[in-house]
Amino acid sequence: MPFSSADASTHPEGRPTPDDGYDVVIVGAGPVGLTAAGLLGRLGHRVAVVERHPGLYNLPRAGHIDHEIMRTFQLLGFADALLADAVACDTYTLRNGKGELLTEFPWAADGVSGWKSDYMLYQPELEDLLYSHDVDDPAITFHRGFEVHDFLVHEDHVEVHATAPAAPADLHGPAREARDLVLRGRFLLGADGGRSFVRDRLGIRRADLGFSSLWANADARRNRDRVDLPFDSGQWCDPNRPTTVLPLGKRHRRFEWALLPGETAEEMADPAVAWELLAGLGLTSEDLSIVRYHVWRFEAKIAEQWQRGRVFLLGDAAHTMPPFQGQGMCSGIRDASNLVWKLDLVLRGITAEALLDTYQQEREPNLRAWTELSIETGRLPCTLDPDEAERRDEAFRSGAAKHLPVVPPLSGVVRDGSGAGELSLQARVSRAGAPGLFDDVIGGGFTVVSTAGDPAAVLAPRQRAFLDALRAQVVHVAPDGAGGVTDVDGAYAAHFAERGWDVVVTRPDFYVFGAGSLSELPAIVDDLAARLGADETR
């Protein structure tokens, strides 16, 4: 008989017992693992999270998210709380050693997802919010202080073995003996970072994309309300010392300096060096307090396989990239969003497990495009030869600079045609007098949105039943609220008219599956059922 978490016993308060059965076991409680757990939990799936650190890793690493990721956090219910410290970006610029502008990225724009294009944040603040969300969800159980040392993949489940080492008494509690833990789940997600045990246990190799650069990193808390710098966010592409300056939310800043030829990681790791480099920017301990200082290597590596049967790799376990576009953590959260909705359909019996084979097929092209963009952006400040730097600068002055790579639309479980694979619009709507962003008012998941009429009216009963099985939201959005949902700012009417659409079908990860005229909707829904491998007569 197949393993089912529905057969599991529970504690009196409803939480699973430590060796109980789960739908999904997640190794790693960083932002990617926490996001995956939160998304699965909100869909009603029972999740165990195993983390070797007994508490939150209270140091900054990632510092940037974009509008797509903010929409994911909105779905989890804490996007507004994140803005208590996160800041919307003005711009991200690259300047040469003379201060001349080479190029800039329009991070201050409005994103299609209903949020500003880009935000800078302090990662511990994000992790506090993610953990607080997840720990309050009765579907999610945490096993902190346990290190996974093995797992066994069976036909219908994965068995995970972990151990918490013995510990002496301390301020946090009495002495503890070593404890062993065995967890069973239908699927295992390895979100355990660049040195992933899950990846190594599977014997999966990583392809090296050939980028490697050592940088010293100082993350600092601001001691003054203002810390004046020539510009707020970006890169000095100065061959004498390439330098990065970034805000990390409202109270912290990041500074990075490339190591020059002849400098070693050991000598540059001395905190006294950090203060010398900060002094070069006119900053002292009166301005800042260093929270973390270390030397790390920027590199780009991608796992050759992101799935082995019932086991999946997400985030840094599957891929690492240089930080020059701020897309490392964002890409891991996209992994979680992509995989979770597919797991949901499989766990609910809507689709076959073959749908999970599309995870890497869809995510890797997007990830490679972002990695290539990050590498090419990073080559600009990493130019250390003065003559080569001058040729680079002249190419930008003359307009002859090489164009940076473009991230293409998603391909895979999408329909051919206009808009397929693009991020869908989220704008303000109102229903029953309650205004807000679409996902807050209507709900997330699969959506069918029309500006031309009631989408359900053109569908056959079997198609409506299929959408019901997907838990899809099917709505008519109009400026006058004729369909019950008001297009508050006319954003949907304008967006659809510009693209020649009457209706759009969107996936739970916010990507457009297909769009067209209202008369085309039945064919779009049938195509969705076929591409999901689902029985549309359910």
pLDDT confidence of residue 537: 34
pLDDT confidence of residue 17: 44
pLDDT confidence of residue 135: 96
CATH topology of domain 18-59+123-166+176-205+301-371: FAD/NAD(P)-binding domain (3.50.50)
CA dist 252 → 8, 60, 287 (Å): 45, 10, 11
Strands 92-96 and 234-237: parallel
The 10 Å CB-count burial string (b at 16+, else e) for 455-492 is beebbeeebbebbebbbbbbbbbbeebebebbbbeebb
CB atoms within 10 A of CB 409: 14
Helix axes of 31-42 and 67-76: crossing angle, nearest 10 degrees: 50
Q: Coil, strand or helix: which one is 277?
A: helix
CATH 3.50.50.60 residue window(s) in the chain? 18-59+123-166+176-205+301-371
pLDDT digits (tens, 9 = 90+) for 395-404: 999 999 988 8
Distance between CA atoms of residues 129 and 101, nearest Å: 37
- Give the residues of the chain that fall short of pLDDT 70: 1-20, 172, 230-231, 535-538
Q: Tell me the pTM.
A: 0.93
* E-only strand ranges, 178-305: 179-190, 206-222, 234-237, 243-248, 252-258, 288-303
Q: Which CATH number fits domain 428-532: 3.30.830.10, 3.40.980.10, 3.40.30.120, 3.40.50.620?
A: 3.40.30.120
CATH 3.40.30.120 residue window(s) in the chain? 428-532
